[in-house]
Amino acid sequence: MTAPPDVEALGRSTWTLLHTIAANYPKSPNYKEQSDLKTFMGLFSRLYPCWVCAEDFQKYMEKEQIRVDSRNEFGTWLCEAHNAVNTKLGKPVFDCSKWEERWRTGWKDGRCD
């Protein structure tokens, strides 16, 4: 039987979704695409079903305004937001210059992790 996801499993799946949205976001988004992404992230931060996580993420979004001008702007903003959670949880921070290799193009050095 499959159990409901705990905070870790939910978190991993959710980061996969969010970074993959960034990876597929246009390089030059039009006004509607930018507005849709802002709306989505605003609603996401209120509906994310780990309430402590959601509360902190809303505070982060108030402090660090979302950047949706381009794929790289959003991907980097999201990487930094993920790093803020990593830091809070005592996990290593990720090198945000590499977010696109991790989530879109694959590693330049050919590794598979």
Ligand X SMILES: Cc1cc2nc3c(=O)[nH]c(=O)nc-3n(C[C@H](O)[C@H](O)[C@H](O)COP(=O)(O)OP(=O)(O)OC[C@H]3O[C@@H](n4cnc5c(N)ncnc54)[C@H](O)[C@@H]3O)c2cc1C
Task: List residues near ligand X by CB under 6 A.
Answer: 7-8, 11-12, 14-15, 19, 48, 52-53, 56-57, 79, 82-83, 85-86, 89, 91, 94, 99, 102
Query: Which residue type occupies 42?
Result: G
Nearest approach, Cβ of residue 11 and ligand X (Å): 2
Cβ closest to ligand X, residue 31 vs residue 51: 51
Nearest approach, Cβ of residue 30 and ligand X (Å): 25
Alpha-carbon distance of 53 to 56, in angstroms, equals: 5
Nearest approach, Cβ of residue 31 and ligand X (Å): 26
**Tokens representing 69?**
């001008």
Cβ closest to ligand X, residue 30 vs residue 45: 45
Nearest approach, Cβ of residue 66 and ligand X (Å): 13
Alpha-carbon distance of 89 to 57, in angstroms, equals: 13
Diameter over CA atoms, the chain = 45
Q: What is the DSSP string of 61-78?
A: HHHS----SSHHHHHHHH
